[in-house]
Structure 1
């Protein structure tokens, strides 16, 4: 108790000193009368103002946050400054001396600085006091939601996903000293590291749906066109996420990995959890007491120092991204993509706001004793897309994520039950320049050229564009350069071309079924040949009326799916598991008319993204298909050769069963998946 009083007095004194310094620096901030006051009078005024501001922050701020509970996280973060400034104005107004005066815009600055200084001082004083640290952590938890008494015998399980961090990237970061927390887990050792292999669609939508709900059937890519619905599905679109989750629950036959006393934080899908924050699949539902998450928003923003720190870090991250982008351009780094527009704001949200809210929510869940928690931290994935998977920028993000792991680990020591922390990723990323950078045209341009449709003039003049037009003329036996209007199909038959990293999908919306190779050749005689022979294309998958399904490659290569084991053809470079992944995707009802996987260089591990990304994932080729599982030794060892997100779901469910949590029987989940 005495130490707590001492810390409070120290924080008050530092806040008072901060107010005095700011009053001396800022012309619009006055804490003395126009005629001047004694030093003692000024100090008393500052002390009262600092104390009133601290009390208002502790008492009024949580009430304000409750009022703004339904405001989007980013908006609430930006409102922090205004709300904090208002509290300072109120604190000065109730000062008995009547000496405090500050312009509204200056109040915002003063309040932000005082909150940051008070938070830093309190944290520094409490760092060596376990009791104080425990109390500080408990303030993050929503105690009304606590469902387990202290001392729960069975351990809880935290699944923490580092989005986009591949197995080899994790090991490299540990070797470079960027992730000391992970290094300690591996060196003691308390954890084991296992790699697993994704499905063909190596992206968060497919992986996380399979991991959380036990089925990612009929998810051929990050975005695809469904002919029966006339709709483009996009995994990170709320309406699509709702539908995908509904389908997965129906196919798996259970609510999900987190259906029993679970919490889902920062994910695309809920996993069946009752407690959710920043979960995309509930974004379209009306927010109610059941769907909103005070453990996420309220527990974090109820502390004004947290809110101010996050807001300040947000703007610092924006500045950091702009500086790194300018430096990369000045150095003429290659490969490089544009990083302007809204991207600095998007990056700052992913690396600061989302991280802070999710980490605080996870800590609150552990302190509330929840049985199973699954959280996704997307910071690395966002930065690696634009800076590169092994870049210095991405490495700095991994450093900050490791500090978050250490904070979560410390919080676990004060939870009412033991926690087993499982670290995992949903996919990796493969480096390489973009398809457009290398060849001067996009995949959509190449498809249109192969169909004899107009393409942008810039694309027309590229070598690829000229070859495509020549292939069309040869296929149609038209030796001259006559107008393309002579063989241009109607607009209703123009293809829809979608990209998911280095995986491309081509669909013809006017044909209600999945077109066969024979039908495509009859309509567009040069298209498949143009795509298969292009140096930036690795292979194609199409349906065949004769063989059921075929893989196409350069120089007329055409291999039926049932013969790939004896002759993998163009799939040979993509490593083990490529054949099974392609066969599985071929069986999906909504597989595109033409599935296009980019070229892959096995020596350098590089792919060519059909999107504007120099670190990409979504198809086959390289590190993108090799994520990791870092699991405590207390849990059973994962099977060797773990393939597919659905199998990972079975492993995680088994680990929950081993901890003694009441779960859906594993046998039922495995039967449904089969």
Structure 2
């Protein structure tokens, strides 16, 4: 039964007065504690007059926050998102200074740096008061969740949503199957929310990635059904003379367009869908923080709308900004701790990395979670969101390091918040949790061997390398082999190194994608053959194949087709299955040959595809980038992500059959969307609540905003 209008108005008035009172008291306390902040005239005032001044200041600050703050946030959508959190403190302090100037007779004064502190404390106090009152009132709780998603203002008659369930796909970026299985075990699991789901309502299934085990390849296939011709995270295309990087807006837009042209389908989220925090839109109308549309301009690009929806609430902005600063400090402390303890392996974590980490683990997480909550309350049919926090930290700390495991705890709390919001949605929801890849640990190639893959390639080609790399055993051996193959005299001590590799040489372009390296020769049209490469650079293939840090490399032969080369002259001819010596792909498990064979047929596969070695006992690999937790190639946990799916859904694959490739997983997700048969929300108490009916929040139509937009 709907609450009478007079009761709703009186409840709203009570909440406004309560927040105003708490804000006024906060001002009084801060005025007594901070030396550069006062609410009295220079000659002093009575307590009553000071209290009135505090009330006026709190009221002015509240009005400015409600009226001016959303306009400021909308203007700041043009500012790079990474710096938006840093500006929150400055803007909040500026609003407080303006509010103090509005107090009659100049009784309110504060130093600029003090105003920042006062404004942050007031926002935190008002936010805590609002949250406390909302917990005690269902409609207030609904309104607050709606405000998190930016759905304000319009009041509509509450109505029940569709009886069929919606589906939420929550991607935990970089969390491997084995890692998650350990995180939900024991009496005190690392991720208690997922542990409860795994025990009561969900089932955990592993799947195997393609050779390119990274978000660009996996998510493009998960959302759009195809990752054809996507050989790595970054690669060189000879026909356009450009380097494609999956997470660049222009590259992501091009990759999405190509996938749609290949499949003829708009994507997994094309019907009443929402895409949050992803590289690709999946065909969704509702997008926030989606890379493939970030470069667009105009009214149809709402990728940054998630920032406005979240930061337009000054309390949210302050809370996230405080958490942002705390995360920066946490990263600095954790980095210093690893150095003082001399933990190995480790990589440099200075520069802008603390800010980048804080953005991924705080700002993006908060904005994406708030957007998903809004989607749930709007009753959208399909929602796909990517939470990238763990992946970012694990790259620099290690997949199983305590720093990365702390992030898993925070992600579990975010999942619990989303599940709690689903209980108040106008329709039932099924929640599927999945990952796009895992992460493999190990020291970097550079740390382990003293030279980069690029240095090794250049040395194998007889090209100049940095003096540091030339002095390493690998660099020296490669250069000696190259000189001998090219019939050049030995380099005398102190003699200057050669600057070219002779007539007809081709300077290679070397790119890295985790422990997968791509070597291209830009001046050679099309894909260079093994025979041509042996003629130009006789020592290169042997140098790479026999290096202890390299597991195998792929090259195309004019005679035998695609050939995988390994150490000591071993070969695997992919077209015929012929193996010479020990199979170089055997250490990488079942399915490795199929994954490499599939990549070989891509039009933009590199001239040489180089995969680092993998320790079969530990799963350790050597990234060609500066990452001690890496993914992108074959080897270790990176190739084994997971699906955590409700038991009401059909199993992903028949018993005993492996689930291989992101394209196959896309077909599973699409099938699950088609299995919307009756209300299902396997989240324990939430299911019982939905069976008895939940009053929907204000402002929602039966079909949600997507249907309203289509009707217009």
Residues 142/316 of structure 1: CA separation in 2 closer, same or farther (3 Å cut) = closer
Matched, 1:429 2:439: yes
- Structure 1 residue matching 2:410: 3-state secondary structure: helix
Distance 2:404 2:34 in 1: 38
Kindly provide the CA deviation profile for residues 521-548 of structure 1, in whole angstroms up to 9, marking residues without a partner as x: 0100000000000000000110011111
Pick from 604, 626, 635: which aligns with 2:649? 635
Q: How does 1:455-474 map to 2 (within 5 A)?
A: 455-474=465-484
**Alignment partner, residue 326 of structure 1:** 336
Partner SS for 2:343: coil
CA contact (8 A) 2:571 2:584 kept: no
Superposed, which structure 2 residues align to 1:346-495 within 5 Å?
346-478=356-488, 480-481=490-491, 485=498, 488-489=501-502, 493-495=506-508
Kindly indicate whether the alpha-carbon contact (under 8 Å) linking 1:220 and 1:588 is maintained by their aligned counterparts in 2.
yes
2:286 aligned with 1:275: yes
TM value normalised by structure 2: 0.89
User: Of 231, 250, 254, which aligns to 2:265?
Assistant: 254
What SS does the aligned partner of 2:674 have? helix
Distance 1:578 1:595, change over 3 A: same
Segments of 5+ residues of structure 2 without an aligned counterpart are 1-6, 679-712
Aligned to 1:586: 600
Aligned to 1:654: 671
Between the aligned partners of 1:295 and 1:655, the Cα distance in structure 2 is: 29
Provide the rounded CA distance (Å) in 2 between the counterparts of 1:96 and 1:116.
Answer: 26
Bigger shift: residues 476-485 or 651-660: 476-485
Correspondence for 1:296: 306
In structure 2, relative to structure 1, the CA distance for the partners of 1:146 and 1:450 (3 Å cut) is farther
Are the equivalent residues in 2 in contact too, given 1:564–1:579 (CA < 8 A)?
no
Write out aligned runs for 1:566-581 (5 A).
569-581=583-595
> Which residue among 561, 567, 589 is the counterpart of 2:574?
561
Of residues 270-279 and 472-481 in structure 1, the stretch that sits farther from structure 2 once superposed is 472-481
| Aligned equivalents of 1:17, 1:143: Cα separation in 2 | 30
**What pairs with 1:659-670 in structure 2 (closer than 5 Å)?**
659=676
Tell me, in whole angstroms, the C-alpha distance in 1 between the residues paired with 2:359 and 2:652. Answer: 34
Q: Deviations over 1:370-395 (max 9, x none)?
A: 11111111110000000000010001
**Alignment coverage as a number of residue pairs:** 659
Q: Does 1:65 align with 2:79?
A: no
CA distance in 2, matches of 1:103, 1:121: 27
The aligned residue for residue 707 of structure 2 is none
Maintained 8 Å contact 2:573/2:579: no
Q: Within 1, Cα distance between the matches of 2:231 and 2:607?
A: 12
* One of 179, 185, 210 as aligned partner of 2:221: 210
Inter-partner Cα distance in structure 1 for 2:505 and 2:266: 40
Measure how far apart 1:218 and its partner are: 0.6
Give the aligned partner of residue 610 of structure 2.
596
The answer for the alignment partner of 1:183 in structure 2 is: 195
The C-alpha deviation readout for 1:257-310, integer Å capped at 9, x for no partner, is 111111111111111111111111112211x22212575122211210100111
Does the CA contact (< 8 Å) of 2:294 and 2:303 recur in 1?
no
2:246 is aligned with 1:235: yes
Counterparts of 1:34-49 in structure 2, within 5 Å, are: 34-49=42-57
Residues 470 and 72 (structure 1 numbering): CA distance in 2 closer, same or farther, change over 3 Å? Answer: closer
Partner of 2:625: 611
Q: Secondary structure at the match of 1:37?
A: coil
Alpha-carbon offset, residue 96 of structure 1: 4.5
For the residue of structure 1 that corresponds to 2:284, the secondary structure is: coil
3-state SS, counterpart of residue 606 of structure 1: coil
Quick check: 266-275 or 324-333, which moved more? 266-275
Q: Cα distance, 1:210 vs. partner?
A: 0.6
Find the residue that maps to 2:184 and give its secondary structure. helix
Once the two structures are superposed, residues 50-106 of structure 1 have per-residue CA deviations (whole angstroms, 9 ceiling, x without a partner) of: 233223323433343334444433333333223322332333233356522223332
Q: Distance in 1 between matches of 2:505 and 2:411?
A: 48
RMSD: 2.3
State the Cα distance separating 1:592 from its structure 2 match: 0.8
Equivalents in 1 of 2:285, 2:569: separation in Å?
54
Q: Cα offset for 1:501?
A: 0.3
What corresponds to 1:670 in structure 2? none
Q: Which runs of 5+ in 1 are unaligned?
A: 662-674
Partner-residue secondary structure (3-state), 2:548: coil
| Residue aligned with 2:43, SS | coil
Task: Return closer, same or farther for 1:577/1:566 CA change in 2, 3 Å cut-off.
Answer: same
What TM-score, normalized by structure 1, do the two folds share?
0.93
Give the distance between the partners of 1:74 and 1:547, measured in 2 at CA: 50
Matched, 1:17 2:25: yes
Aligned to 1:499: 512
Whole-Å separation in 2 of the counterparts to 1:553 and 1:360: 49
2:211 and 2:169 map into 1 onto residues whose CA distance is: 23
Counterparts of residues 489-568 of structure 1 (less than 5 Å): 489=502, 493-564=506-577
Match of 2:695 in 1: none
